[in-house]
Chain A
């Protein structure tokens, strides 16, 4: 038995403090846990530091310490003249800077390029900041108004008509093509085994052509009247504005609810009128600068931005087509997407450069830059379709079901419920496609367009600046431009992704 009466042991003095645990945070902690915690790791650290040392030191020496900063021509960048080993030849970049940014764009007109850059930046930056309001207006301006304005600013030239003339012209072309096909079939039917069938189809097509001719007669008549008047552009503009606004008013719900649509339409046309007046499009616009003179960063940005803007509608249409329940449309979309995704971009550019001109009527001369743009847009559109399809699949099925339970049609369900959510999900994916598109624009230098890389390559052959370090300097400069753009965009994409996944973070 234990002696209960004995007093229990009570400790009288404090236990000596234990030493603090080894620090695992901060720089010292990092050193202890990640760099020097075992002999093997110490060895790896030393090896890594040596590797970094042998890359960083020569790079800094080349770019800054040994670099030549001023000079008139190649002699400044030669080792004999400088008296030491020569690094980067920066005067070469100074001399070629204009060529790398504008190409051969006439010097007096370069303010137009700068203005376009400024407009684009002013519209794009607010679009990228999620906090700022009016995303709808902003994206409308950037995706629809900006490309048109940029075209007239960069390329120059004016317009000779407006909506009525353009639509009349297009319909007339369509009518001629249908009639031509009908005549061809009727002619073929003379020497064919299935002659009656061909004859009938041909006659039907001819009849359709004639029908279209009479259907569009009011439009063509109006066009002729307008073209004969003293102010063709403004007359046409007015007629188009009145017709479109009236249609919007009626479609928007007439007197009861159509006021908003009417107001929107009128404001849009007012904006267009201001644009036409400011750029003087009704009397010729700016002097035309042929696209063969464009070059450098200008071409890179034009192709990248046109590519992404044009690929959005193509991608959306193909993605919806691929999910469609109508067999023919689905099969066509799948075949189209898989075809263009399966071939390298350079063959697409060759296709656009060599084959496309053969596919359009001989009297349409397709501009070299436009050909590349078409190729890039189709190619990016196919990739974009897959990105958007991912977004469409991510929208919960119940959303579309709820919409059809409310009685919305397929078009309304898609455009009001499904697509807005899907596009929100795929913003990071779109930015990633834009990054790869931006990098891929360098390929156009192979089909004789002078983008940033093409201009750089062309500048190497200038005998005034041939030195041993010219090529390295040029690549260092262009590499910095590419890196800043691509790295910035990839960080932005990460930022959006984190924002979208905010609710999922632990």
Chain B
């Protein structure tokens, strides 16, 4: 005679409890209800107050204003814009300017950061101390302070156009900004670009092929002459056939101002210089920490295998350092993008300056405009952090394998 197994306890109530209140059960459920009630009350207060306040101050609401004429000028825009365009257009002009200054700032900041990190890591005593002093000074001053310093002190102290500081007679620096040669497209441009793209594709394919050969047969095949040929030879050939891809229009001093060339407004110069030097100092520290995080034994193991110092760095140290470097590096890039909103202090027409600044003061629709501006930055940082968590997940997987 066997004992009949007892029925398992009723799962339904437990599941309900778990679903409603999490691990804490009914207490958690009660806490959630109370919390939701408080949130609802706060939301009600905000909405009710905002409605009465908007009514008493005669401010319109809704996004209809985006189709009205903006009626103000913007002193730098990447897309065609004049003062009879809509607020939508203003939004995109500002957004593009933000992206422009961020991308250029990121490029310069990365270069500065890696150079300073190399200085700090170098065995040379003088260079490492200079790098250290640079990092300490720049990191300990507010970024707005540095933007204003470059804009109000350095750029304002530059001479008038007639006494411009000339760099090789092609770049001219004066208090109206930086005058650079303007590339003007010629008929040969499209063949040239096509040749360049083809060269890059072929070079990447060759590299892939060489790696496969190396992994399959253990042979190192020499590809660099072909790569060089593709990258330089193809564009050169296209230039020989179709003529120059573009010609540079050199700026000329005519009277009190320059004719020809392109003028980069001083606000842009100040913002780019300040943001890239500031972020560069942080990047330098990140890169240094990344390289130092690779154990000394790795370097020693590399040289005991007979690799040269450069090969050890390239094949062993840098790949391991990059794993540590990439996540904080991206967050620095994001910080630079967010800091570019300080453009409003010097009047560079970025998103915050033209949209959350000028447009708010014209329309008074603060809620909509500031919410849109915040949304743009929020979208950017959430995307970045999502990409970074994918990256972290892949790194963990490759470490586990």
* A and B together in one complex: yes
Q: Mark B204-232, 1 if CB is under 8 A from A, else 0.
A: 00000000000000000000000000000
Closest A residue, CB atoms, query B366? A354
- B-facing residues in A344-393 (Cβ within 8 Å): 344-347, 350-351, 354-355, 357-362
Which listed segment binds A: B66-74, B76-84, B125-133, B310-318? B125-133
Contact in complex: A359, B153 (CB < 8 Å):
no
Task: Report the Cα distance A329→B27, complex, angstroms.
Answer: 13
Provide the residues of chain A in CB contact with B165, threshold 8 Å.
none
Q: Which of B28, B149, B345 contacts A325 (CB 8 A)?
A: B28
Given contacts A329-B31, A354-B370, contact A482 B341 (CB under 8 A): no
- Residue B166 at the A interface, CB < 8 A? no
A393 to chain B, nearest CB (A): 16
Q: Which of A45, A338, A358 contacts B54 (CB 8 A)?
A: A358
Contact in complex: B126, A48 (CB < 8 Å):
yes
Task: Report the Cα distance A440→B345, complex, angstroms.
Answer: 13
Q: Which of A342, A347, A453 contacts B352 (CB 8 A)?
A: A347
Provide the residues of chain B in CB contact with A435, threshold 8 Å.
140
The total of chain B residues at the interface (CB under 8 A) is 63
- Residue B182 at the A interface, CB < 8 A? no
- B-facing residues in A478-492 (Cβ within 8 Å): 478-479, 482-483, 486-487, 490
Contact in complex: B142, A351 (CB < 8 Å):
no
Contact in complex: B145, A45 (CB < 8 Å):
no
Provide the residues of chain B in CB contact with A351, threshold 8 Å.
370, 374
- Residue A343 at the B interface, CB < 8 A? yes
Provide the residues of chain B in CB contact with A472, threshold 8 Å.
153, 157
- Residue B137 at the A interface, CB < 8 A? yes
Provide the residues of chain B in CB contact with A48, threshold 8 Å.
124, 126-127, 130
Q: Which of A355, A362, A443 contacts B366 (CB 8 A)?
A: A355
- A-facing residues in B33-57 (Cβ within 8 Å): 35-36, 39, 41, 44-46, 48-50, 52-54, 56
Contact in complex: A446, B45 (CB < 8 Å):
no
Task: Report the Cα distance A171→B130, complex, angstroms.
Answer: 61
Task: Report the Cα distance A181→B42, complex, angstroms.
Answer: 11
- Residue A326 at the B interface, CB < 8 A? yes
The total of chain A residues at the interface (CB under 8 A) is 63
Provide the residues of chain A in CB contact with B22, threshold 8 Å.
325-327
A47 to chain B, nearest CB (A): 8
- Residue A475 at the B interface, CB < 8 A? yes
- Residue B123 at the A interface, CB < 8 A? yes
Closest A residue, CB atoms, query B150? A475
Contact in complex: B36, A328 (CB < 8 Å):
yes
Task: Report the Cα distance A361→B50, complex, angstroms.
Answer: 8
Contact in complex: A440, B142 (CB < 8 Å):
yes
Q: Which of A329, A355, A442 contacts B142 (CB 8 A)?
A: A442
Contact in complex: A487, B32 (CB < 8 Å):
no
Task: Report the Cα distance A45→B49, complex, angstroms.
Answer: 66
Contact in complex: B122, A346 (CB < 8 Å):
no
- Residue A495 at the B interface, CB < 8 A? no
- B-facing residues in A328-348 (Cβ within 8 Å): 328-329, 332, 338-339, 341-347
Contact in complex: B123, A34 (CB < 8 Å):
yes
Contact in complex: B28, A483 (CB < 8 Å):
no
Q: Mark B102-130, 1 if CB is under 8 A from A, else 0.
A: 00000000000000000000111111001
Task: Report the Cα distance A45→B129, complex, angstroms.
Answer: 11
Contact in complex: A362, B152 (CB < 8 Å):
no
Contact in complex: B373, A347 (CB < 8 Å):
yes
- Residue A215 at the B interface, CB < 8 A? no
- Residue A166 at the B interface, CB < 8 A? no
- B-facing residues in A20-79 (Cβ within 8 Å): 30, 34-35, 37, 41, 44-45, 48-49, 51-52
Provide the residues of chain B in CB contact with A482, threshold 8 Å.
140-142, 145
* Residue of B140, B152, B377 with most partner-chain A CB within 10 A: B140
Given contacts A48-B130, A329-B31, A360-B49, contact A453 B148 (CB under 8 A): yes
Provide the residues of chain B in CB contact with A487, threshold 8 Å.
136, 140
- Residue A445 at the B interface, CB < 8 A? yes
Given contacts A351-B370, A355-B366, contact A346 B157 (CB under 8 A): no
Provide the residues of chain B in CB contact with A443, threshold 8 Å.
144, 342
Contact in complex: B49, A358 (CB < 8 Å):
yes
- Residue B356 at the A interface, CB < 8 A? yes
- Residue A96 at the B interface, CB < 8 A? no
Task: Report the Cα distance A41→B338, complex, angstroms.
Answer: 40
Q: Mark A465-483, 1 if CB is under 8 A from B, else 0.
A: 0001001100100110011
Q: Which of A326, A359, A479 contacts B31 (CB 8 A)?
A: A326
Provide the residues of chain B in CB contact with A326, threshold 8 Å.
21-22, 24, 28, 31-32, 35
Closest B residue, CB atoms, query A327? B22
Contact in complex: A339, B378 (CB < 8 Å):
yes
- Residue B321 at the A interface, CB < 8 A? no
- Residue A439 at the B interface, CB < 8 A? yes
Task: Report the Cα distance A338→B21, complex, angstroms.
Answer: 23
- Residue B339 at the A interface, CB < 8 A? yes
The A-B contact count (CB < 8 A) is 174
Task: Report the Cα distance A204→B174, complex, angstroms.
Answer: 71
- A-facing residues in B339-360 (Cβ within 8 Å): 339, 341-342, 344-345, 352, 356, 360
Q: Mark B295-339, 1 if CB is under 8 A from A, else 0.
A: 000000000000000000000000000000000000000000011
B215 to chain A, nearest CB (A): 35
Provide the residues of chain A in CB contact with B53, threshold 8 Å.
357-358, 362
Contact in complex: B367, A328 (CB < 8 Å):
no
Task: Report the Cα distance A48→B126, complex, angstroms.
Answer: 6
Contact in complex: A362, B145 (CB < 8 Å):
no
Q: Mark A177-221, 1 if CB is under 8 A from B, else 0.
A: 110110010000000000000000000000000000000000000
Provide the residues of chain A in CB contact with B289, threshold 8 Å.
none
Closest A residue, CB atoms, query B20? A327
- Residue B247 at the A interface, CB < 8 A? no
Closest B residue, CB atoms, query A483? B140
- Residue B10 at the A interface, CB < 8 A? no
Provide the residues of chain B in CB contact with A354, threshold 8 Å.
360, 366, 370
Task: Report the Cα distance A446→B397, complex, angstroms.
Answer: 46
- B-facing residues in A220-244 (Cβ within 8 Å): none
Task: Report the Cα distance A351→B371, complex, angstroms.
Answer: 8
Q: Which of A343, A445, A478 contacts B374 (CB 8 A)?
A: A343
Given contacts A344-B352, A355-B366, contact A34 B152 (CB under 8 A): no
- A-facing residues in B361-389 (Cβ within 8 Å): 366-367, 370, 373-374, 377-378, 380-382, 385
Q: Which of A343, A359, A460 contacts B378 (CB 8 A)?
A: A343
Provide the residues of chain A in CB contact with B377, threshold 8 Å.
342-344, 347
Task: Report the Cα distance A227→B189, complex, angstroms.
Answer: 85
- Residue B156 at the A interface, CB < 8 A? yes
- Residue B274 at the A interface, CB < 8 A? no
Task: Report the Cα distance A254→B153, complex, angstroms.
Answer: 68
- Residue B394 at the A interface, CB < 8 A? no
Contact in complex: B145, A475 (CB < 8 Å):
yes
Closest A residue, CB atoms, query B52? A362
Contact in complex: B153, A471 (CB < 8 Å):
yes
- Residue A155 at the B interface, CB < 8 A? no
Contact in complex: A350, B356 (CB < 8 Å):
yes
Q: Which of B23, B356, B367 contacts A347 (CB 8 A)?
A: B356
- Residue B101 at the A interface, CB < 8 A? no
Provide the residues of chain B in CB contact with A178, threshold 8 Å.
41
- Residue B143 at the A interface, CB < 8 A? yes
Provide the residues of chain B in CB contact with A440, threshold 8 Å.
142
Provide the residues of chain B in CB contact with A471, threshold 8 Å.
152-153, 156-157
- Residue A112 at the B interface, CB < 8 A? no
Provide the residues of chain B in CB contact with A34, threshold 8 Å.
123-125
Provide the residues of chain B in CB contact with A442, threshold 8 Å.
142, 144-145
- B-facing residues in A413-436 (Cβ within 8 Å): 435
- Residue A259 at the B interface, CB < 8 A? no
Closest B residue, CB atoms, query A487? B140
Given contacts A34-B124, A35-B126, A326-B31, 4 further A-B contacts (CB under 8 A): A41-B123, A326-B22, A327-B32, A350-B352
| A–B pairs, 7, beta carbons within 8 Å | A177-B45, A338-B382, A343-B374, A346-B352, A354-B366, A358-B367, A359-B46
7 tightest CB-CB pairs across the interface, nearest first? A48-B126, A354-B366, A34-B125, A344-B338, A486-B140, A342-B381, A439-B142
